[in-house]
Copies of this chain bind each other. A is one copy, B any other.
Amino acid sequence: MHVARRERSRLPAAERRRQILEVASGLIAERGFWGLSMQDVADGCGLTVPGLLHHVGSKDGLLIAMLEHRDAEDARAWGDSVHDLRGLCAAIVRRNAAQPEIVRLFAVLSAESLAPEHPAHDYFVARQQDALDKLTRLAKPARDAEQLARQVIAMMDGLQLQWLRDQAGTDLVALWESAAETLFVVDPARRAPARIGSRR
**Interfacial residues, chain A to chain B (CB-CB below 8 A):** 1, 29-32, 34-35, 86, 104, 107-108, 110-112, 114-115, 117, 124-125, 128, 132, 144, 147, 150-151, 153-159, 161-162, 164-167, 175, 177-179, 181-183, 185-187, 189-190, 197-200
Chain B residue contacts of A153, Cβ below 8 A: 158, 162
Contact between chains at B115 and A107 (CB < 8 Å): no
Contact between chains at B112 and A165 (CB < 8 Å): no
- Copies of this chain, how many? 2
Given contacts A31-B34, A182-B151, A198-B181, contact A112 B108 (CB under 8 A): yes
Nearest B residue (CB) for A108 = B111
Contact between chains at B164 and A114 (CB < 8 Å): yes
Contact between chains at A165 and B31 (CB < 8 Å): no
Nearest B residue (CB) for A121 = B165
Q: How far is the CB of A190 from chain B (nearest CB, A)?
A: 7
Contact between chains at A114 and B147 (CB < 8 Å): no
Contact between chains at A128 and B32 (CB < 8 Å): no
In the A-B complex, the 4 residue pairs with the smallest Cβ-Cβ separation, listed nearest first, are A154-B158, A34-B35, A111-B111, A158-B158
Q: List 16 A-B contacts (CB under 8 A).
A: A1-B117, A31-B34, A31-B115, A32-B112, A107-B111, A114-B164, A132-B162, A150-B162, A150-B179, A151-B159, A151-B178, A154-B154, A155-B158, A157-B158, A185-B185, A187-B187
